[in-house]
A = this chain, B = another copy of it.
Amino acid sequence: MGVLVVGTVTLDTVETPNKRVENVLGGSGVYAAVAASFFGNPVRLVGVVGADFPHIYADFLHTRGIDLQGVKREGSGKTFRWGGRYAEDFNVRDTLFTELNVVSDFHPVLPETYKETPYLFLANNSPSLQLSIVEQATHPKLIVCDTMDFWINEEREALEALLARVDILILNDSEALLLTGDSNLIRAAQVILRYGPKRVIIKKGEHGAISVTESSFFSAPAYPLTQVIDPTGAGDSFAGGMIGYLASVEDTSEKAIRSAMVYGTVVASFNIEDFSINRQKDVQFSEISSRYCELQEVVRF
């Protein structure tokens, strides 16, 4: 089944204690779409780039089978640029700059061929923009959205309206605390469920992720990595891998979502082993399966 990803397509500058890369392919839409593309579904990307967006990046996304019909090229503008720097242990990230460029005036309109897509991932964005996508989708089977501190603080009302319309909210632990004021993540998730989503997934970085519904609780392990190169895009890779798997099995049951979270974890683990989407370029599906099985062993008792 098809997957629709709405998110940013960016040129990133990333500094880690070991290396610096400039204007590499990035953005929530890219990370999520590349992750989803491992599972053999049509992946449709919605976003915007400027005239300066390198053709080799577009070509790469095409080779992954990602439909770019929904990625608008603004002839007169520049692509969204983001710069970030990681501290020694990768737990702290400073944003060096954010140049929205073409993104600032972007109001996505779904191409006709995209509208019936059943599996939607709305990467972190303005909640009103995310809601406009929900309203354009004609046959959504599963709507997953992400958000961040900025929208929780600045567009709370729109965010609550969005939450009433989505199936799954994915956010990280500090965002869950910010949204609810509750530092107990399970209680925080229970509070968020009252806004409308059927499931809340809280990402905890090196501690894995949890999923909470009215009647279930799941704790997904992190993949045990000893070498982190660049964590940028890990959260979107997680979400993209998750929805990619769900679309491939055409199943949104508790069991399928648990597997999907672990597949998302695995794709994210590859993502952070190199800058940009470099590591994903040569990952075979057999490697994904192999790490999935490893994680089954990691939690077995």
Chain A: residues with CB nearer than 8 A to chain B? 88-89, 91, 183-187, 190, 204, 206-208, 210, 217-222, 224-226, 228, 255, 258-259, 261-262, 296, 298-301
A262 vs B219: C-alpha distance when bound (angstroms): 14
Judging by beta carbons under 8 Å apart, are B217 and A299 in contact?
Answer: no
A35 vs B259: C-alpha distance when bound (angstroms): 34
Judging by beta carbons under 8 Å apart, are B218 and A206 in contact?
Answer: no
A262 vs B200: C-alpha distance when bound (angstroms): 25
A261 vs B207: C-alpha distance when bound (angstroms): 17
Judging by beta carbons under 8 Å apart, are A262 and B186 in contact?
Answer: no
With beta carbons under 8 angstroms apart, the residue of B89, B185, B298 that contacts A219 is: B298
A143 vs B195: C-alpha distance when bound (angstroms): 50
Most buried by B among A183, A210, A301: A301
A183-B91, A204-B207, A208-B219 as given contacts; A300 in contact with B258, CB under 8 Å: yes
A187 vs B258: C-alpha distance when bound (angstroms): 28
A68 vs B300: C-alpha distance when bound (angstroms): 37
**In the complex, which residues of chain B have a beta carbon less than 8 angstroms from the beta carbon of A217?**
224, 298
A149 vs B262: C-alpha distance when bound (angstroms): 35
Judging by beta carbons under 8 Å apart, are B186 and A224 in contact?
Answer: yes
A183 vs B296: C-alpha distance when bound (angstroms): 25
Judging by beta carbons under 8 Å apart, are A299 and B221 in contact?
Answer: yes
Other A-B pairs, 20, CB within 8 Å; known A89-B184, A186-B226, A219-B298: A89-B183, A184-B225, A184-B226, A184-B228, A186-B224, A186-B225, A187-B226, A190-B226, A208-B219, A210-B224, A218-B301, A219-B221, A219-B222, A219-B299, A220-B301, A221-B299, A255-B301, A258-B300, A262-B301, A299-B299
Q: List 30 A-B contacts (CB under 8 A).
A: A88-B183, A89-B183, A89-B184, A91-B183, A184-B206, A184-B225, A184-B226, A185-B206, A186-B225, A186-B226, A187-B226, A190-B226, A204-B207, A207-B207, A207-B208, A208-B219, A210-B224, A217-B224, A218-B298, A218-B300, A218-B301, A219-B298, A221-B299, A258-B300, A258-B301, A259-B301, A261-B301, A262-B301, A296-B301, A299-B299
Closest residue on chain B to residue A185 by CB atoms: B206
**In the complex, which residues of chain B have a beta carbon less than 8 angstroms from the beta carbon of A222?**
219
A88 vs B183: C-alpha distance when bound (angstroms): 9
A204 vs B208: C-alpha distance when bound (angstroms): 12
**In the complex, which residues of chain B have a beta carbon less than 8 angstroms from the beta carbon of A89?**
183-184
**In the complex, which residues of chain B have a beta carbon less than 8 angstroms from the beta carbon of A206?**
184-185
Q: How far is the CB of A122 from chain B (nearest CB, A)?
A: 25
Closest residue on chain B to residue A207 by CB atoms: B207
**In the complex, which residues of chain B have a beta carbon less than 8 angstroms from the beta carbon of A221?**
219, 299
Q: How far is the CB of A168 from chain B (nearest CB, A)?
A: 16
**In the complex, which residues of chain B have a beta carbon less than 8 angstroms from the beta carbon of A208?**
207, 219
